[in-house]
Structure 1
Amino acid sequence: MMRRMLARWRADDRGMTTAEYAVGIMAAVAFAGLLMKVLTSQKVQAALTALVDRALA
């Protein structure tokens, strides 16, 4: 009886890993999109350019 319960528990859990990966990938893509939006803004580009100019001067 215990083996059956354990086998059922393992079988039910197989799809959870795939779902967790999907949620993780969606979160990573959303974060990358937000980061891209921030880094391409005029203010951030000006600040990064000034930082690089000071570092090279």
Structure 2
Amino acid sequence: MVLLGQGRHVRRKAPWWCRWFRPLLGSDEGMSTAEYAIGTVAAAALAALLYTVITGDSVVSKLTSLIERALVVTF
């Protein structure tokens, strides 16, 4: 709602996507313990995957060569 002055309010119409998705989502009172557990496992799996990629030989060698090139630059 928007306050127009002197206590008058105007209710703005929700965007089309909000009106379309709201019935599909239903009521969300918060996550349950099972949802927290699944979210935690998914976050840990993503972190493990990113760690594996970052510590892989190709990424380490590319970063090392980039840093070496940056340190050898002549002005």
TM-score (norm 2): 0.48
Correspondence for 1:30: 45
User: Which structure is larger by alpha-carbon Rg, 1 or 2?
Assistant: 2
- Point out 4+ residue stretches in structure 1 off by more than 6 angstroms: none
Superposed CA RMSD: 2.0
Q: Which runs of 5+ in 2 are unaligned?
A: 1-28
**SS state at 1:46 partner:** helix
Q: CA deviation at 1:56?
A: 3.7
TM-score (norm 1): 0.60
Distance 1:19 1:56 in 2: 50
Q: Which runs of 5+ in 1 are unaligned?
A: 1-12
Structure (1 or 2) with the greater strand fraction = 2
User: Does residue 40 in structure 1 map to residue 49 in structure 2?
Assistant: no
The number of aligned residues is 44
